[in-house]
Every structure is written in C-alpha cells, then in structure tokens.
Structure 1
Amino acid sequence: MATQNRAARLLLRLVGRFITPARFIAGMAVVCFLIAWNRDIALLYGLSSLLLALLLVSWILPIWVLRNIRIHRRQTGVARAGASLQVSYRFISESPLYFLAVAETIPGAERQEHFIPRTDLSEPVTLSYEAPRRGVFVLGHCEVTSSWPFGFIRQKRRVPVNPVTITVVPRVYRIARLPQPHAEHAVAEGADSFLSRGMHSEFAGVRPYRTGDSLKHIHWGASARRQEMVVREYHSFDRPSWLMVVDAGTGSSIGDNEDSTLEYALQIAASVMEYARSHNIRLQVYVNNATTMRLTVEPGTHDIIEHLKALAAVQEDGRQSYQSAIVSALAEQGDVPVLMTVRRDSQEISPGQAGGHLDIVYNDASFTQPMGRYAEGWRQVNPGHFILDLHRLSSLSQVLAS
C-alpha cells in the first residue's frame, strides 16, 4: 500500500509539472472540437469556443494590465544581515492592478517573489526579502508578472523601475560583559598630576536632560538660558576610552563571503559599538580600508545606526598592514585607550602604548578544517591583556552573551 501511495504521488508530481491549467484547458478545447466534428454536436462546438475564448482572454488581459505600469521603489527601515529587508513599492498605472507578482534578486540570496492580489495605487506596498549579506547593493531591474483575471497564464514584462541603493548593516550581537583590563600606568605620561590625586573626572560640557539623569548633575544656569533642562557631562578617568582597530587590508582576510574573518570583525565591531553606547563608554572604531574610516561613539549617544551604515560599506581594500594601522590609530588618541583587535592567529601584532588589550584571535586552521577541536573563550595573559580564542564555527551570539 505504501509503495502504491509513493507511486501515485510521483505520478501526480510528474503530471503537475507538465500539465498546467492553460495546457489542460487547451487540450479540453481540442478534444471538444474533435468530438463535435466527429459527432456533429453543436453544444460541444460552443464549449470548445468558450474554452478558447477563456484562453484568449487569459493571454491578452495580463498584457493589457502591464502595458503602462511604472514602479518607484525605496528601502524602508534598517536591514540587518541575516534578517529581513523591507522594500516599499509605489505602482503607477492608469487602471487598477490585480494578480501581480514582483520578483527581486538580492545579492547573496536566491530569487524571491511576492504575489499581490490587488494593488492600491494611492498607497505604497511594502514587501520583505531575506538579506543574508552585509553590504551596499544596487537593485536594478525587477521582474513583474500578471496573471489577471483567471490565473491560468502569466505574462511578464520589463516595466520602468528606478534603481535603488540597498544598505544591509552588519549583525549586532548582545554583549553581556567585556573584561576590564588594567594597565600598569593608568594615567598617561605627562598627564596633569592633579587628576591623579583622587580627581577621577573633569567637566566636558552639557547635553539635553534624559530620563534617569541625576538631578544633582543639572546645570541650572544653562537650563535657564536655553529654556530646557540640560545636564553636565564629565570625562571619566576611571573608565578610559576604548579603541578598536579593524583589519580591512587587501588580502588580510580568510574565509568566503559572510564566513570570513573580515565579516566577523565587522560584526564584533558593530556589537562593541552597541555595548559602548549602552554603557556610556567612549569608543573609536578605526578601519584601515582605502579611506581609513574612523567611527566614534561618545557617551550619551542615542543610536549608532549611521555608524552601522558606514560599516556596511567597508571593503577589503586597505593598503596598510594591521600593525601599521594599530600604530597609526594609537598615535591619534589623546589619551591611552583600551585597545581591541580582531586578527588571525598567524598575524603577529604589538599593542604598543595601550591602556590594556582585548585581543580577539581566530584560528586559521579552522577555516580549512572546521570540524577540528579548537580553543574557544576568554583567557587572561596578564592584568592588562585578555585573549578571546575563536574559530570558524564559533557562535558569536553565544560567546559574546556568555
């Protein structure tokens, strides 16, 4: 019985692949015509004519619907790698549109199609697509088909549509906690000695009041002048600034596409920026690509979406070595920051004059032999130096959240 059921399902699958509704109706029209010709039955002539008319209408009307259609599209919201991408479509036509299908090919994903039973010309239609890859892409032609009114025959037409730039930002993972390295000399050489005698912060400026701010930090004079509540901000010397250097040098990454050390480094950088924002830490991300990108998160920053969009455009085109980029980034800092690096274990670096070092190291061998046993997790080298061992199959969402 089970064998018969499998054979029946296979037969139905084969029949369904080659016998479409349009072919079935055309076959029925031919059969009715031949029977009517042989038996001289007028009713079958009429039925054959009706079926042919049905096919003719199903073939012509979709072309009529698509003849003057135009589409304007744009990205809405923020698209994150591995999540959904929202594209808004505004259809411009002289008549209502029915039974449309819109298909797009997103880089890194297969062709994706959406069926729209009815289109309201006065309101845009927002469709969701899978966005597996980080990057900045241009969507050119999209495929539009119509099967109105009966759904038997689909007609496709290249309709005028505007190219649209799509930005897919890196994935952001929740970081539960980062090690706090302690350098041997917390205050940089030559710093004001007054700050080292128990004074742990200095006045930096004012900013608008936010819910949860302490009333003792309100600057009443500035609030009166601006006619809005403002609070004092301070530079903290107990919580030093952080510097993260991302290696985007030409040929420095290993792995393919989204499974490469550059992509992992950008995901970690995005996650660290969100961590800095939520913990009011000053962070600068230095990317040694062709233009040497510098992204700074200041304490009190509300969101980092513009920084994430900048990371989306990073290409592996830098001309500096990773060690040179670290030296250049440290030289630009006004104080001694905590340094974060993401590198391969075959890359030798020297952190130089940093106020601590968080070193994230990927095992090279894991990219060619991913099923091997490799170390994973944080380990402390000395009070100012922590290493996070990772490999090709490490789950950043689990490692960073632990």
Structure 2
Amino acid sequence: MKHKFISKRYWNDISTPMGESGDLTRKYEDLINFSLGDPDYTTDERIIEAAFKDAKNGHTHYTDFLGDLELREEILKYYKTQYQYEVALEECMVTTSGCHAMWLVLESILDDGDEVIIHEPYFTPYPQQIRLARGVPVVLETYEEAGFEVESQRLEKLITNRTKAIIINTPNNPTGTCFSKKTLEEIGKIAIKHDLLIIADDIYTAFSYAEPFIPITILKEMKERTITIGSFSKDYAMTGWRIGYVLAPSFIIETMKDVNENNVFTAPSISQRAAFHGLKLRDKVQPPMIEEYKNRIYYAYERISKIPNMSVLPPRGSLYMFINIKGTGLTSKEVVDRLLEEAHILVLPGNAFGNCGEGYIRIAVTVGVEKLKEAFDRIEKMDIFSLK
C-alpha cells in the first residue's frame, strides 16, 4: 500500500495467492484445504519428547553462531551415510527455516543487479527473495510436455555477464517433477562453463517416489559451486519448528554467519535439538510418513485421470500435484474460485507460481485418502468437470 510511512519498495502490492489463501481457510465449515504444503502430521512424539527433555536440561540458550554442534555433526553424518558425501563442519550452518536460509544465501552472494535464474513454475517467494537481496530474477519457463524439466539449451541462452546463480528445486514445488540425473548433469556443466553458483533448494528430498533423490552437489566438480538448502519442515513434519540448514563452501558460510548476526543471530535452540533427534530417528519416523504421502499422491492421480477436463503427469515426487485444467476453457483463478464456491475446496491457481502456470491448479495432498475421496467426489459433480 502507498503510505508515507511505508517503504516505497512496498507501495505496489506484493501479496500472493499463497499468502492470501490463509484468509479463506475459515470461509466454510466443511472446507477441504489443499492450499498450503503444511503436513497434517504432527511432529513425531519421540522427537517432541526428546526436545522437551533437552529444554528441561538447559538447552534454552543461544547456540554456536553456526548452529548446535551436535546437530551440525549429525547433518554431516547423514550426508556421509546417505550419499557417501563428505562435508566439513565449517561448511554447514543451521538456519531459521529453509526460507530464511534462501534469504541469507542471496544476501551473502549477490551484488546489486546480479541476475538469478529460476525455473518456472517456481516456489512463489523466489522472485521477491531475490529482489530483497537487490538481485534480478530471470525466469526460465518449463513445460508439461517436457515433464517440467529444465531444458539446457534454453537455460544457457538466458545467461548474461550479470548472471550469478541458478536456483533449482527438485523434487519440485509446485509441479512435483524430479529432475533426472541427466538434467542435473547438464545444469552442472552449464554452471561450470559459465562459472556460476547453483542454489539447490532441497526441501522435499524424502519424497522422491519414482527414483532415489540425487543432490546436485554430489556430482563431479559441483561441490565447490553448489549451495545446498535443507529443511526439516516437510521431510520431518516440523514446519512450525522453523529449522533448516545450508551446506556451502566455508567462505560463503562464514559470510552468512556474519549477515545473520544482524538478523536472527542463531536459530532457536529447542528447534535445533528437535532437528537433531529427528535425524537420529529418521529411519523410524520417515518411512510410514513417506508411504502415506505416496498412497495419497497415487490415489489423487487415479481420481484425476478419470475426471473430464483434468489431467496430471504421473507422480514423481513432493507433496503436490500440478493439475492441467485447460480443458475447462476457464482461467486458473476462475477454476479456483468455482472450486471454492461450489465444492468448498481450497486450492491455489497455477499462475501463483509464474505465468506459465496459467491453465493449472496446485493441490497439496496434506489430507488423508478419506478426505481426498470426498474432495474428488465433490469435484466430479461440478459441471466444468463433467461430460454433460
């Protein structure tokens, strides 16, 4: 809004459909909410109890500026065990969520006017996060016909002498795609050729259904130019704890630490302890949750495949389905509005994730199969999704 006491940077509205959806969650008592990727799982009781015990035992103070030492050591152990990938302690920093990590990274690496390439459809905050760090977002559209994967030739054409970094997000929010090893290798070759950084937003690593997840940082010659952002929000159902981390060359981590001293100083100590216990318990905590989300995704896929004027690619990863609704002849917003008013179902319009998302809607499968069934039963009764 325009006001003399508001920074001119924010005089033009920067609110997004994702942010605005919170106001609609109480509109109907029987609302089925597919809008936000907040797992319906409560954090595993064993994690809560262990973190509570640590708090009672004195873990209520500032931690090391780079994060709780035991947590950082456990993150390093995880990468060694899972990917046979060595990370030094000084190459790891704990952050107050993945979003905070992204801002810290961008603030630490960008000069005014530096360009950052993002593949569209993208996680809604990316463009504004880049602008907050005085960078310039450059959009690479991806398409359903190519599985929403990055096409290397079109990517390379966007590179200028101001390009500093490429953000990649796989498994992807909102499309659910998972980049193939070939795609990751091609992106890596372009980064090496043009001496660019890769910012890997690795938020949904546990939810890669078709193939095992591959972090781009483990590929040949990529460690020195990859900044990996991790989070406990989705992989451990810990959204409210607000805890994430960054793996990067030590000089970048050191700069992030200095920037963060003027921001939140350290991540919450109790949340860090919860993350530590989550990693220790991951073999017990994650498998049933992953299996449940996989069942939900495949159930939703089967239902969508049978509904006229709806289609979606076979599931590959994440908690999301990016549904093609072009057959309705309506815009994404028009379909979203009708789903809300006629079926009491809240979803997000595809163009909330960039212009090439027009003609799609995104659902998050953060409700059980019973609720999914009820939602699709309601959808099937709508005239825009009927053969009549």
Using CA pairs below 8 Å that are at least 6 residues apart, which structure has the higher relative contact order? Answer: 2
TM-score relative to the length of structure 2? 0.29
Task: Name the structure with the higher helix share.
Answer: 2
Task: Name the structure with the higher strand share.
Answer: 1
TM-score relative to the length of structure 1? 0.28
Larger radius of gyration: 1
